Structure 1
Amino acid sequence: MLDPGDSAPAVSAPNQRGESVSPDFEEPTVVYFYPKDFTGGCTIEANDFQDALPEFRDSGIAVYGVSMDDVDTHADFADEEGIDFELLADTDGAVAEAFGLDTSEGYTDRLTFVLAGGEVVAVYDPEMADPSGHAREVLTETREKYVS
């Protein structure tokens, strides 16, 4: 798994609209990995990021959710939950593997990376607690430390 100080990987994947997305990790960026669309904790976490999205955007922080679900599943999930940020469809696990995550079970663990200046600056493991409130924690710390 990538750690703070490691270089940000160059990745691309289709979003929920089928468009190829290549995040710019020079700017403050949150990439959160989650196991599966339409599951309890994953839905809570996605809604938390969506609720805080205006503040992320006002602070110049991009947000990407990544799972191994396909584009159609992401599209359905985004529509049903009102998700307005990019959900990357990492069906082959290439994005997860670039971050050093295990994909052998067909999904990834719940982990969040904050990147800025072309490197990983923070890693969060919301698996250790209720994913509710995780987005707010990431927003607060990222704004304080990595937004000028």
Structure 2
Amino acid sequence: MGLEVGKIIPEFSLKDQHGKTFNSNDYIGKKPLVIFFYPKDYTPGCTKEACSFRDSYEEFTDRGAEVIGISADSESSHRKFAATYKLPFILLADTKNKVRRLFKVEKAMFNLLPGRETYVVDKEGRVIMSFNNIGASGHMKKALKALKSIA
């Protein structure tokens, strides 16, 4: 089970698809975060999920939120993935699964696949929604609904 609703997210920093360091503390106190952990760039489910966040990206930014995708893929893989599918949001390279462990994202499918979990975090860094489901559909809609509840 991942981080529980009501918990403050752990501080973390990772490189994004452009090689810049993303630090969670730079956002706490400033804007809500939508953080989705996904198994792998270019797989059918992950592509579907990333594109659903892309297609509704403006709805998230209109509510002041920052959307962040995290997987164990490298910065260069993320850069190509973002370019191929015109993904406008931050993709973070958690190559050692350090942040995945901090958020307690469990493996799926008999412990073979990295889990798929989405968090919505309010401006203060508190988890207001956690959704764990290996299926790609539903993550974006649940995240947007949770974000609307704090608007």
TM-score strictly above 0.5: yes
What is the percentage of aligned positions where both structures have the same residue? 34
Query: Unaligned stretches of 5+ in structure 2?
Result: none
Which aligned runs of 4 or more in structure 1 are off by greater than 4 angstroms?
A: none
Distance 1:107 1:10, change over 3 A: farther
Does the 8 Å contact 2:6/2:126 carry over to 1?
Answer: yes
TM-score, normalised via structure 2 length: 0.87
1:139 aligns with 2:144: yes
Give the residue type in structure 1 aligned to 2:68.
Answer: Y
Q: Secondary structure at the match of 2:127?
A: strand
Cα shift at 1:118: 1.9
- 1:82 matched to which residue of 2? 86
Distance 1:7 1:41, change over 3 A: same
1:7 aligns with 2:8: yes
Paired with 1:108 and 1:139, the residues of 2 have a C-alpha distance of 23
Does the 8 Å contact 1:52/1:136 carry over to 2?
Answer: no
Paired with 1:107 and 1:14, the residues of 2 have a C-alpha distance of 22
Cα shift at 1:141: 2.6
Does the 8 Å contact 2:63/2:147 carry over to 1?
Answer: no
Cα shift at 1:68: 0.4
Which range moved further: 130-139 or 48-57?
A: 130-139
Paired with 1:106 and 1:137, the residues of 2 have a C-alpha distance of 25
Give the residue type in structure 2 aligned to 1:21.
Answer: F
How many residue pairs get matched? 143
Q: Secondary structure at the match of 1:88?
A: strand
Q: Secondary structure at the match of 1:80?
A: helix
Paired with 1:64 and 1:74, the residues of 2 have a C-alpha distance of 12
Query: Unaligned stretches of 5+ in structure 1?
Result: none
Cα shift at 1:133: 4.5
- 1:108 matched to which residue of 2? 114
- 2:125 matched to which residue of 1? 118
- 1:68 matched to which residue of 2? 72
Q: Which residue of 87, 91, 94 corresponds with 2:95?
A: 91
Does the 8 Å contact 1:14/1:71 carry over to 2?
Answer: yes
Give the residue type in structure 2 aligned to 1:125.
Answer: N
Paired with 1:102 and 1:111, the residues of 2 have a C-alpha distance of 9
TM-score, normalised via structure 1 length: 0.88
- 2:17 matched to which residue of 1? 16
Cα shift at 1:97: 1.1
